Chains A and B, each alone.
Chain A
Amino acid sequence: MKEIKENQKQAKKPYARPVLKQIALRPEEAVLGNCKTAGISGPVSTGNCAPGGPCSTQGS
């Protein structure tokens, strides 16, 4: 028993001060708010963008 306690002592990790780490969120990517690819089958046959023009709402 004493030996086990000794081993547990040795295995104990040294104290590490907690560190606050920020992970960036990108809401514009996470909420699927925009078209993913330009003009497929949406209204007026050109997706959700103006006919013939660049997609105004393309996103990730």
Chain B
Amino acid sequence: MMIELAEVEADTSRPRTSDARGLQLSIAGIKLALKSTDPTMKLGVTGASKLFLTEETACDATLSAAWGLLDEEALGQPLFDSGALWKLYRGEDDGFTLRFATPYLGERPYKLARFNHDFTQGEVLLHHPFFAQDQVLFPLEYPLDELWLLNLLARGRGAELHCSGIRDERGRGILFVGQSGAGKTTMSRLWEAEPGVEILSDDRIVLRSVEDGQYCMYGTPWHGEAELSSPEKAPLAAIFFLRHGERNHLRDLNRAEACARLFSCSFPTYYDAAGLDFTLQFFEQLTSAVPCRELSFVPEREAVELLRRF
């Protein structure tokens, strides 16, 4: 694959095309491969996903991309309706199909992604008439890329949270969890100005268990308003649940509340009982290993100072 990383880092606005018939992404240590045997399909990567390109060829999961003429074919048993872009179906072969449609293009799906039972193999079909002839395509375009990773994580690999996260100048990973409006972007911008600090993401972080009961946090391509995204990682040292306040204040949380609040800021596979079990156990173990507190804060540097003393 002819990718110059320096150029990728310098400009994430232009798509990066792949001369080879595939590309690989590494997100949270999970290697995803996208391939196509169709010479007319120009594969590329858009946005912050370019930062997650890897040359490694040994992958955890692989999707093949192809053109199709998608119709209202039988997709299997309906499992979940997101209420917007995607629906999930279960096939007779125990596989899954994600169906993507948008009101702008009508009822017909613009994309189908079929997976095997554990989401490690599959194919993504794009409805050819909806796409321009010479268009550079990223068939994993959001939300398929994130949904794919979420289903892989729910199978014993980890969990993703709606949060921002930093690696401070001492190398410690600090997580700021909260739903929209809680202050994730504000907190990211406060830390962005601090020397030696790396913002791993202003909106999505993946957590995974590593050896000796430790946890690692990873940046993801799915940034928020501040567009801060990094493929880096850090050992998780503390979790703060954000809320705007009239003063800077820390409150200890008991494990039950911490677990519930982690769950409310995660992206559970509601259609998968085993995945839900794993996610809840993961949060239970996480809250026994990592301190969890609520942080009420005012958007000033004093909040950073308070956390530095923590």
Q: A1 vs B80: C-alpha distance in the bound complex, in angstroms? A: 58
A32 with B147: CB separation less than 8 A: yes
Which chain B residue has the least Cβ–Cβ distance from A25? B264
Asked if A36 contacts B222 (CB within 8 A), the reply is: yes
A41 touches which of B104, B136, B179 (Cβ 8 Å): B136
Q: Is A11 an interface residue (CB 8 A)?
A: no
B interface footprint on A10-46 (CB within 8 Å = 1, 0 otherwise): 0000000000010111111111111111001111110
Residues of B within 8 A of A50 (CB): 104
Cβ–Cβ contact B44 & A41, under 8 A: yes
Structural contact, A48 and B47, CB atoms closer than 8 A: no
Stretch of B25-33, B138-146, B168-176, B282-290 on the interface side: B138-146
Minimum CB–CB distance for A21 against chain B, Å: 6
- Taken together as a complex, chains A and B put the C-alpha atoms of A35 and B102 apart, in Å, by 10
Q: Is the CB of A40 within 8 A of B261?
A: no
When the two chains form their complex, are residues A43 and B105 in contact, meaning their CB atoms are under 8 A apart? yes
Given contacts A44-B131, A57-B85, contact A36 B143 (CB under 8 A): yes
Interface centre among B143, B146, B224 (most CB of A within 10 A): B143
Asked if residues B268 and A30 are in contact (CB atoms below 8 Å), the reply is yes
The answer for the CA separation of A25 and B260 in the assembled complex, in Å, is: 10
Q: Is the CB of B110 within 8 A of A32?
A: no
Q: How far is the CA of A42 from the CA of B85 in the complex (A)?
A: 12
Q: Does B266 contact A (CB under 8 A)?
A: yes
Q: A60 to B222, alpha carbons, bound, how many Å?
A: 10
Taking a contact as CB atoms under 8 Å apart, the answer to whether A30 and B104 are in contact is no
Q: What chain B residues lie within 8 Å of A26 (beta carbons)?
A: 179-180, 264
B interface, size bucket: 35 or more
B82 / chain A contacts, CB cutoff of 8 Å: 31-33
A41-B85 contact, Cβ under 8 Å, with A23-B257, A32-B143, A32-B147: no
Q: Assess whether A35 is in contact with B85, with CB atoms less than 8 Å apart.
A: yes
B103 touches A42 (CB 8 A): no
B180 engages A40 (CB within 8 Å): no
Cβ contact of B15, chosen from A36, A41, A49, A56, cutoff 8 A: A41
- Docked pose: A20 CA to B298 CA in angstroms: 29
Most buried by A among B84, B130, B135, B222: B84
| Shortest distance between the CB of B152 and any CB in chain A (Å) | 14
Contact among B15, B132, B146 for A44, CB-based, below 8 A: B132
Specify which chain A residues have a CB less than 8 angstroms from the CB of B110 in the assembled complex: 42-43, 48
Contacts of A21 in B (CB 8 A): 257, 260
Separation in Å of the B109 CB from the closest CB of chain A? 10
Supposing A23-B257, A26-B180 touch, asked if A40 and B46 sit within 8 A by C-beta, the answer is yes
